[in-house]
Structure 1
């Protein structure tokens, strides 16, 4: 039992924890990094104010259909990103996930570890059968990471996002509980 408790929301290199008010400035900084604005958000890539982030941060806290975590590096306990479970559909047992990692920690395995930890949380502690996500077709690093986490490309939304002066596709990925069970 103690071993199971030690692994709760803990990956190889990261720990997922609820963010607190004192994390808000660091959260806002990561969310306003250019890579986050261009790769993880389909809105117009314009930096948000601290008040905008505070409003979002407070709105998501306590919702029963959404769970947001800070991604903390285990060695330093530094906030390096965020991830969450969104749009839970209890009737159909589905949810969406999203993740954002600060520039300094990208392409070092932290995102993959965080996504695996989040997936484990969902399938072990929430009655969800399918996890879904969307990723921009030009975000090849994220696509590789999701595939390492056993997500499968299920569809394409053609010309769905305008970035870098042209339209791009959005890929739809999914992971079923039975698929995830095979790799555990």
Structure 2
């Protein structure tokens, strides 16, 4: 369930946190990962995030199949169990972007969502300037469902944020 051809999904580990903290302070990573201003995540903040436990959040580390390197993180979060809806997120370190590993991680995550968690709908948001991510989501069958016009400002320019969604009935994996 958690292993593909190139990557596997595992639990996050304490030794992943220094890399995760470094990535969050890098503009290229942080500006695609969330809308918050880029800043260094403290050790305490990263540890608290790591230790959070909830039946509404399922976080995974992305690792190669043949070693323990931390490549990134993906998650199904803020699950609304009465409605069987979850939010997806993914972030890969710069060295792993464009390798197909993100697509494979998303496929594994969706398989888990449909077949283990029994979710009905998955959704995510993506910033308008992140064309590679939008191409990946569309390749995976997500449909662009809405736009939050001029949602954020980066480097003096306004950017839209798009809402994508996919239903279990639209997946060949269900």
TM-score tier (shorter): over 0.9
Separation in structure 1 between the aligned mates of residue 119 and residue 107 of structure 2, nearest angstrom: 15
2:99 is equivalent to residue 104 of structure 1 = no
Separation in structure 2 between the aligned mates of residue 180 and residue 31 of structure 1, nearest angstrom: 32
8 Å CA contact retained: 2:21, 2:40: no
Displacement of 1:146 after TM fit?
0.9
Normalised TM-score (structure 2): 0.94
Structure 2 equivalent of residue 11 of structure 1: 4
- Secondary structure, in 3 states, of the residue corresponding to 1:79? coil
Displacement of 1:27 after TM fit?
2.5
Separation in structure 2 between the aligned mates of residue 109 and residue 33 of structure 1, nearest angstrom: 22
Structure 1 equivalent of residue 49 of structure 2: 56
- Secondary structure, in 3 states, of the residue corresponding to 2:45? helix
Separation in structure 2 between the aligned mates of residue 63 and residue 19 of structure 1, nearest angstrom: 14
8 Å CA contact retained: 2:26, 2:38: no
Separation in structure 2 between the aligned mates of residue 23 and residue 149 of structure 1, nearest angstrom: 27
In the comparison of the two structures, how many residue pairs are matched?
174
8 Å CA contact retained: 1:71, 1:79: yes
8 Å CA contact retained: 2:23, 2:30: no
Separation in structure 2 between the aligned mates of residue 32 and residue 116 of structure 1, nearest angstrom: 28
Structure 2 equivalent of residue 168 of structure 1: 159
Displacement of 1:77 after TM fit?
2.6
Structure 1 equivalent of residue 30 of structure 2: 37
Structure 2, unmatched stretches of 5+, are none
Structure 1 equivalent of residue 114 of structure 2: 123
Structure 1, unmatched stretches of 5+, are 1-7
2:124 is equivalent to residue 133 of structure 1 = yes
Displacement of 1:34 after TM fit?
2.4
- Secondary structure, in 3 states, of the residue corresponding to 2:164? strand
Q: Structure 1, residues 113-140: CA drift from partner, whole Å, max 9, x if none?
A: 1111101110010021000000000000
Root-mean-square deviation (Å)? 1.4
8 Å CA contact retained: 1:17, 1:72: yes
Would the alpha carbon gap of residues 72 and 122 (structure 1) be closer, same or farther in structure 2, given more than 3 Å must change?
same
